[in-house]
Amino acid sequence: MASLPAALADATSSWPRRPGPVLDWLIGDARWLPDGRTLLSQLSIRLIEAGMRRLLAHFGVMELPKDAPAPPATRFVEVRDRSYYVYASERGVFEPLVRLGDDVEAGQPAARVHFIENPAREPALCHFRHRGLVVCRRALGRCAPGDCLFHLATDRPAPA
């Protein structure tokens, strides 16, 4: 039986503190709380469960059920330049209008920034400048001009 990869073993050795980079990647939409706990979406839980089952099957710890769905195809992406980032234009409370993993179009609204000092003021809209895949989203609710709200990635050919 093979041993766990060092990166995964290192990531899990820090529990119950915040896990390392491997689990940060696996649990991309988690919200980390100051005491080390986290809040997960149902999508994250399903992805983690499926991935861990495949990992344990790969190392011979368990067998995959015969009706286990095939893993999704790998999607190769890249963030081309700074224009694929969406930044806050105003100070306020950030309301995302898309989720991680969504495919978006150029010009599509990305977020609203609500003005807590003036609730009667219409929220400011922030838009995507390109089409792409949402790969990163700001976790904090408060934002100021220049704060990064989203990163977009675009498809690229698979490495040879």
Considering the entire predicted model, what is its pTM? 0.67
CATH of domain 77-155: 2.40.50.100
pLDDT in tens, 41-99: 777 788 888 888 889 999 999 898 888 888 878 899 999 999 999 999 999 999 999 99
Give the per-residue pLDDT at 15.
41
CATH 2.40.50.100 residue ranges in the chain?
77-155
3-state class (DSSP) for residue 75: coil
Are the C-beta atoms of residues 98 and 138 closer than 8 Å to each other? no
Are the C-beta atoms of residues 138 and 150 closer than 8 Å to each other? yes
Q: Which of 92, 86, 147 is nearest to 119 (CA)?
A: 92
3-state class (DSSP) for residue 85: strand
